[in-house]
Amino acid sequence: MNLHVRAIAILLVVFSGVSTAASAQGADLDPRIVKLVAAISEQRLEAILKKLESFETRNTLSSTDSPTRGIGAAREWILQEMRSYSPKLQVSFDTHQVPKQGRITRDVELRNVMAILPGRSPRRIYVSGHYDTVARAGGQGAANASAAPRDPDAAAPPPADPNAPLDNLAPGVNDDGSGTALTIELARVFSQSGMDFEATLVFMCHAGEEQGLIGARLHAQKAVAEGIPIQAVFNNDIVGNDKGGSGIIDGATIRVYAEGPEDSPSRELARFIERWGGRYVPSHHVRPMARPDRFGRGGDHSAYNQLGFTAVGFRESRENFTRQHDVRDTFEGISLPYLAQNARVNAASAATLALAPPPPSVLSERGQPLISRAPSGYDANLRWNASPGAAAYRIFWREAWGPDWQHEMLVGNVTSAVLPNMQIDDYVFGVAALDAQGHESSVTAYVTPPRANTPVRTGSGQ
Ligand SMILES: [Zn+2]
């Protein structure tokens, strides 16, 4: 069969597949994921937040010897709480000795709290927040009101005794009790769901975020050194307040920041969350943001990005800066229905991703995108590498000037497709892998590799 005939055959398969899908729209949703999402409890989130607030401070440099106050008590409680959920969860401290440096003003033992839900594959999907807190005079409100953007890595003035615990009140219920509570609650609903996931899920409560993403950097560095396959990080930081300091209230949307360049894996993860979070939680609108984070501000997802991992940052849509890095960051500033919606979007998209095959690679062994104009010279000819466990693939495309996928087409268990008379120069193409039940991976886009600058020599040419 020549390639044109084969292309038509593929398209026929494709279109019959589309009509089947269209006639059973609800079949896209996995009832087990619907049930998992419905298990998220506002009451549980409330209890976790109030417990976190009760430690008064969770500053990375605070006391560790009190059973009720400071970061030592907080991390022990988080560990025991997650251990109580299910014998399936492997809960441990991810401990690092950190000598004095930057905003770490004295030698400190830093402990991330990590709960692993093993899947059939070692590849990992993280849901995370940071449980450490900070409060300074004036808080983030004063910092943001000054004219120039602040250097987030600027050193804080040294305390009177640098070796004394930093025990000033720093409740941090929204920053980042909210992301921590979301992470802990997802550890519960995932481990108690009775579901077996393809990917390994990791529920990670980082420390040291407020001193420069220290806990996340240390964990990401370890992952690089040990070859731990981190597929994606869903980082949640400040996701529990729906009343902006501007007076604008928005409890129906969530921002998802994703580092570029355009069509980077992190951008594809944000699109994935918009697509699958939106299907399972249609009442909550995901707003992907094509930038690493907010101006002058940072979060743990960036620590993973900087070491080459795929990671995005969830941020509430309307922040109240007067309640951040401030003693006023209390439970009063939380909207439980809003936090629960953000937890549902995380749960739906993380569950879908963890059930799906890994996203396919679209690169040749030489690192070139497997896209061409063959056979006619004017077609879109897409090839990809088979993804383990895939039963089908879905092709996506959009105008080359546009942020969101506009068209999609289900193809069978094949590793190539031809779209006749589609100019590859005018569209961005991508492909996702699906298992037999329709769980879809994130999309891998066909991207032109950057070209090296070739300086032109001038002069006599001798
Ligand atoms: Zn934070």
Which tokens belong to 159? 């305390």
Q: Sign of dihedral through CA atoms 63, 301, 137, 181?
A: negative
Å from CA of 461 to ligand 1 middle: 58
How far apart are the CA of 204 and the centre of ligand 1, in A?
14
The count of other CB atoms within 10 Å of the CB of residue 217 is: 20
Cα separations in angstroms, 59 against 40, 93, 441: 28, 17, 37
Q: How far is the CA of 241 from the centre of ligand 1 (A)?
A: 13
Helix (H) or strand (E) holding 243: none
Reported confidence tier of residue 153, pLDDT bands at 50, 70, 90: low
Under 8 Å between Cβ of 419 and 7: yes
Amino acid at 404: D
Q: How far apart are CA 203 and CA 181, in angstroms?
A: 11
Of the pLDDT bands very low, low, confident and very high (cuts 50, 70, 90), residue 298 is very high
In which residue are the tokens 């990809």 written?
A: 384
Mean pLDDT of all residues in 177-196: 98
Q: How far is the CA of 59 from the centre of ligand 1 (A)?
A: 12
Cα gap 288→290, rounded to integer Å: 6
- The CA 178 to ligand 1 mean position distance, Å, reads 9
Task: Flag whether pLDDT at 159 surpasses 80.
Answer: no
pLDDT at 265: 98
3-class DSSP state for residue 5?
A: helix
- pLDDT tens digit sequence for 381-430: 999 999 999 999 999 999 999 999 999 999 999 999 999 999 999 999 99
Give 256 Cα–ligand 1 centroid separation in angstroms: 15
Closest among 62, 354, 312 to 191, alpha carbons compared = 354
pLDDT, position 141: 84
- Give per-residue pLDDT as tens, 206-215: 999 999 999 9
pLDDT digits (tens, 9 = 90+) for 101-125: 999 999 999 999 999 999 999 999 9
Beta-ladder partners of 429: 397
Would the pLDDT of 456 be above 80?
A: yes
Residue 359: pLDDT above 90?
yes
Sign of CA dihedral 251, 209, 45, 198: positive
User: What is the distance between the alpha carbons of residues 133 and 71, in angstroms, rounded to a whole number?
Assistant: 9
Q: Residue 462: its pLDDT value, please?
A: 57
pLDDT, residue 460, reads 79
Among 141-155, 215-229, 440-454, name the most confident range: 215-229
CA pair distance 42, 180, nearest whole angstrom: 14
Rounded to the nearest whole angstrom, what is the distance from the C-alpha of residue 172 to the centroid of ligand 1?
8
The Å distance, Cα 179 to ligand 1 centre, comes to 8
- State the distance from the centre of ligand 1 to the C-alpha of 460, rounded, in angstroms: 59
CA of 144 relative to ligand 1 center, distance in Å: 15
- Average pLDDT over every residue of 235-249: 97
- Number of Cβ within 10 Å of residue 136's Cβ equals 16
Work out the pLDDT band at 144, boundaries 50, 70, 90: confident
- How far apart CA 227 and CA 412 sit, in angstroms, is 32
Cα(94) to ligand 1 centroid in Å equals 19
Least Cα distance to 310 among 403, 257, 223, 231 occurs for 231
Task: Tell me the Cα Rg of the chain.
Answer: 24
Predicted local confidence at residue 449, as pLDDT? 85
Residues 152 and 333: beta-carbon distance below 8 Å: no
Buried (b) or exposed (e) across 187-204, using 16+ Cβ within 10 A? bbbbbebebebbbbbbbb
Q: How far is the CA of 181 from the centre of ligand 1 (A)?
A: 13
Q: What proportion of the chain, given as a percentage, has pLDDT over 90? A: 86
Q: Which residue has tokens 């969101």? A: 404
Query: Rounded to the nearest whole angstrom, what is the distance from the C-alpha of residue 445 to the centroid of ligand 1?
Result: 31
Model confidence over 31-85: pLDDT tens digits? 999 999 999 999 999 999 999 999 999 999 999 999 999 999 999 999 999 999 9
User: Which runs of E-coded beta strand occur in 259-347?
Assistant: 285-289, 311-316
Taking the centre of ligand 1 as the mean of its atom positions, its distance from the CA of residue 290, in whole angstroms, is: 20
CB atoms near residue 181 (< 10 Å): 32
State what percent of residues in the chain have pLDDT above 70.
Answer: 91
Helix axes 265-280, 336-355, angle to 10 degrees: 110
Distance in angstroms (rounded) separating the CA atoms of residues 435 and 393: 9
